[in-house]
Structure 1
Amino acid sequence: MQIDLPVIWAAIIGLGVFIYVMLDGFDLGIGLLFPFFEAKNDRQVMLNTVAPVWDGNETFLVLGGAGLYGAFPVVYSTLLPANYLPLILMVVGLIFRGAAFELRGKATRTQHAWDLAFICGSGLAALCQGIVLGSLLQGIKIADGRFVGGPFDWLSPFSLFCGIGVLITYATLGCGWLILKTEGELQRNMRQLMRPLVCVLLGAITIVSLWTVIGLPAVAHRWFGSGNLGWFLPVPLLVIACVWGIFRSVRLQHEAMPFILTLAICFLGYSGLLISIWPNIVPPSLSIWEASSSPSSQLFALVGTVIILPIILVYNAMQYRVFRGKVREGDPGYH
């Protein structure tokens, strides 16, 4: 039986990107929630909930990027030139966010400046990730395996709204995480904030979905004209069920369920994205097989990935297990 290496690599990269969105999404979301909580102690507790794990969360961004480079090098010659500016700004945002993590606790007079860096870095990184997603969905101009569009093709109302949608998604994830990890007044405030955030998130999902169907004929054909409707039809129903479940769990004061159901919404949105572009890796025309490196290169990289990926997964699982439980004011952290 012949192994379809491009499909295996597409699954590995897809898994890595989703785990990154799931994990780094909620700690970016904490930065987006900072403006709603100005008390120094509240902000310190919020940071302490992710202080032990945020570095490990970004491992999966490296996995996705390295996997693309090794398995689908053509993607680098098409996706990157089409999105140079938002990708560079994303990295700048991650740098500011990381620096703020390390330095705000050591600062005295300049702590507010580092708080601002944390807020702006988190927001910039999330916004740019959404813009890249939007530019990917609307399609990238490719000829002979090369990008032939302009430097600002990524800039469109659709891609900008996708950026706003990712901001809302990450903020909702962060709120769910803080309901799980905090207690007392801060947790009550997070529960109050969760309801409007979920409503705005549902609205953003609805607008993006309708915009995709109406404004992007290639994606609409993939949903309704290529036999994929059966796969896609349960997605909106399950999203509505998750939103209802979040409202119910907040009302009943469940601690883990709002976060779990928000993760489920992210998974459903991600599955909708995969249905929209499969088997292309760079829409509208570059498939995973056309973008692949040689089978020997993919096989060589796969051997290393099979060894390293379980170690990464076990390491991340262990850090969440070790640092499970509530984070309270006065606990050791980034001071």
Structure 2
Amino acid sequence: MNVTVIWAGIIALGLFMYVVLDGFDLGIGILFPLFPDARERDLMMNTVAPVWDGNETWLVLGGAGLFAVFPVVYSTVLSALYLPLVFMLVCLIFRGVSFEIRAKANRTKPMWDLAFIGGSAGAAFFQGVALGAFLQGIPMADGRFAGGAFEWLTPFAVFTGLGLAATYALLGCCWLVAKTEGDLQRRLHRLAWPLTIVLLGFIAVVSVWTPLQDPHIAQRWFDSAWLYRLLPAPLLVAVCAAAMYRALRGRHHVTPFALALGIVLLGYAGLLASLWPFAIPSSLTLWEAAAPRSSQMFTLVGAAVILPIIIGYTTMGYWVFRGKVRHDDQHHYH
């Protein structure tokens, strides 16, 4: 297989793992306003306390891979999406600081709750805005970004920002269903289905809106050869949604989270199929944007070492802290 394609796969994997793993703990912050009880909020945060900061490793991996292997994409995307990415980082900082300080605060705890809510929701929203702006295309001239500072601020980008926030909220809700019990879990079971409906609505609108604004994607989706390949995706989403309804009605614990991951994976696969083979939609292909083959091979050796280590310690962290989290557990986050 072409080394450029291998690297595109590694970066795509890193971004997907980030969306899944950091997505559900950002989703917990988005859900915080619906659960005002302080003890329940403590419990919700304790479900991700041992793993939340390690989840962001995948974002670093994706960014570093992009810088090393697709430097044109890295420089163009950072120039075009400078403001939403800075806003996202500021929100992640607020989220991280509030996570650390909230557990030790007394009088100021409500303020840090607000910081956690705002940081989580803001980071999710601006990640989605960046995704939407990337999908709608980045104007380029002579291999450089040729737009203005607010080129990213469009109705489509704002809509995808809200859609990603809804995605994270569903992931967070289903994660909490798997990690909690009793009355809190019952209320989360009731909340998960409306969130699923909202997410399916966002997926449907984005699936229609994306090809309407980009003729290359429209040609890809409705070309006869590709249509049959892409047709199973919406059908599988419908199957996952029906299974989600049954799992929530049956008060299953882990199945809703697995099905939420399935829906997210199908949506992500649809995006990748729409973008292929472009590194920047309608402007640069993967091969046009790639670094020299020697650079790709050199960094691939490093990735072959680092990637199994990241997968290993991530898996170990989740295995060690598997099972339900209760108020009387000794491993509270302090």
For Structure 1 versus Structure 2, the TM-score category normalised by the shorter chain is over 0.9
Q: What's 1:35 paired with? A: 33
SS of 2:289's partner is coil
Answering whether residue 254 of structure 2 is matched by residue 256 of structure 1, we say: yes
Identity %: 59
Residue 97 of structure 1 is aligned with which of 77, 90, 95? 95
Q: What's 1:55 paired with? A: 53
Q: What's 2:319 paired with? A: 321
How many angstroms apart in 2 are the aligned matches of 1:70 and 1:4? 17
SS of 1:290's partner is helix
Q: What's 1:333 paired with? A: 332
SS of 1:227's partner is helix
Q: What's 2:145 paired with? A: 147
Q: What's 1:309 paired with? A: 307
Q: What's 1:17 paired with? A: 15
Compute the displacement of 1:278 (Å): 0.4
Alignment gaps of 5+ in structure 2: none
Q: What's 1:233 paired with? A: 231
**Can you list the C-alpha shifts for 1:166-198, whole angstroms capped at 9, x where unaligned?**
000000000000000000011001001011111
How many angstroms apart in 2 are the aligned matches of 1:226 and 1:23? 36
SS of 2:203's partner is helix
**Contact 1:228 1:275 (8 Å CA) reproduced:** no
**Contact 1:101 1:334 (8 Å CA) reproduced:** no
Equivalent position amino acid for 1:175 in 2: C
Equivalent position amino acid for 1:174 in 2: G
How many angstroms apart in 2 are the aligned matches of 1:132 and 1:221? 24
**Can you list the C-alpha shifts for 1:256-286, whole angstroms capped at 9, x where unaligned?**
1100000000000000000111010111121
Q: CA RMSD in A?
A: 1.0
Compute the displacement of 1:218 (Å): 2.4
Equivalent position amino acid for 2:250 in 1: L
Q: What's 1:185 paired with? A: 183
How many angstroms apart in 1 are the aligned matches of 2:193 and 2:47? 21
How many angstroms apart in 2 are the aligned matches of 1:109 and 1:139? 47
How many angstroms apart in 2 are the aligned matches of 1:224 and 1:98? 43
Q: 5 Å matches for 1:162-201?
A: 162-201=160-199
Q: What's 1:206 paired with? A: 204
Residue 65 of structure 2 is aligned with which of 53, 60, 67? 67
**Can you list the C-alpha shifts for 1:31-80, whole angstroms capped at 9, x where unaligned?**
00000000000000000000000011110000000000001000122111
SS of 1:281's partner is strand
SS of 1:228's partner is helix
Compute the displacement of 1:226 (Å): 7.1
Equivalent position amino acid for 1:130 in 2: G
Q: What's 2:219 paired with? A: 221
SS of 1:139's partner is coil
Equivalent position amino acid for 2:10 in 1: I
**Contact 1:74 1:291 (8 Å CA) reproduced:** yes
How many angstroms apart in 2 are the aligned matches of 1:330 and 1:145? 58
Change (3 A) 1:226 1:68: farther
How many angstroms apart in 2 are the aligned matches of 1:171 and 1:299? 39
How many angstroms apart in 2 are the aligned matches of 1:228 and 1:94? 38
SS of 2:188's partner is helix
Equivalent position amino acid for 2:252 in 1: H
Compute the displacement of 1:245 (Å): 0.7
SS of 2:279's partner is strand
Compute the displacement of 1:213 (Å): 2.7
Equivalent position amino acid for 1:10 in 2: A
How many angstroms apart in 1 are the aligned matches of 2:216 and 2:129? 19
How many angstroms apart in 1 are the aligned matches of 2:271 and 2:110? 38
How many angstroms apart in 2 are the aligned matches of 1:142 and 1:227? 30
Alignment gaps of 5+ in structure 1: none
Compute the displacement of 1:222 (Å): 1.6
How many angstroms apart in 2 are the aligned matches of 1:120 and 1:68? 28
Q: 5 Å matches for 1:133-144?
A: 133-144=131-142
Equivalent position amino acid for 1:14 in 2: A
Residue 115 of structure 1 is aligned with which of 109, 113, 119? 113
How many angstroms apart in 2 are the aligned matches of 1:292 and 1:262? 33
Q: TM (normalized to structure 1)?
A: 0.97
**Contact 1:20 1:58 (8 Å CA) reproduced:** yes
Compute the displacement of 1:215 (Å): 2.9
SS of 1:222's partner is helix
Q: What's 1:84 paired with? A: 82
